[in-house]
Structure 1
């Protein structure tokens, strides 16, 4: 008789997009620069540098939440968020959007293993859909979620728990949460996921990922299917 608890078998994989499955290549920072400039923040100023440092530290968080923190005013935050989205969409439309090496293959292998895959983001639905369309990924996953779908974005557990509910997964212990930021790791640990894996293809290093709860640190998403198969 197997000693494995069936409720601990991972059947749901919740994957971040930018930096984990999709190459970022500085697009978030470029779009932020455009948004900050529209609100009168002078590039290279002390204020600009402080804001940019916060953007880097909070990679993975819902973008509107970041702008609320930076500007402390809802109207300005919404204005900055719209400017950010316009700039990011222009970059995507100009071809500055690509899957990370092995990402599409990894997602296909995870689903071939019988696992459900949910792609999540800190971007709005409009931006998420723009990226998915640019990559031809509209059907690559079982489900895609943005903060507006879940209630709150990272580092709260809402995205992972919404993925569990929408896919009718039986237990939080059946979830693997994978991302490139400390906020992804916090989302996974707060949701009770049995695997919280950080990848080194994005914003944060192994030290930050581990400090925020990573149970595994991978070079890239390409290593994930074999890790889960061995488990």
Structure 2
């Protein structure tokens, strides 16, 4: 209704035109941004599938890159190809488009850069290679709640097949939580913008009604003045 009004004619006054043009301009920008993000929200779920189970990698046709231990644990559930990871390849940026790096959670969190690694919500397998030891640890400053709970549980080290010990407290010294990427803009994020635009359009509509009423009042006074002028210039035939 507002857009169908004769914009050039109404509102007639300069403040009303400036206000209406500003609201219309903001509405066009917000509408285009909302449609673009809405299309993104609709198309992304159909193109990208979240990996929450090892069977999802089968559906996507991915190849798993990991060590021998993980390959043994996932062999009954994954029917794709495995590739053994090298000692100097503990990071995710070198993976191909059809490859997925599967490993224990704490070791994935220590990879660099962490932003390229996808962490599944559900664990692919239970890590049972942890051995409990009752040893006093010197807690460091950057040991977070995760490692503090492990300390309280008495978990000290992970034993590799080659017999080396890797202390978790040393990992806690440089472990940082993963950086979560910025989420896409959604419809609820634009709620304030649309409320503002609706209020602005309502005010513009009130301004239009006021402009019309003022125009009608001006026409009435103009007709009254014309009648007075005609009465003044009307000749008196009786004289």
Quickly name the TM-score band, shorter chain normalised: under 0.3
Higher relative contact order (CA 8 A, sep 6+): 1
Larger Rg: 2
Tell me the TM-score normalised to structure 2 length.
0.22
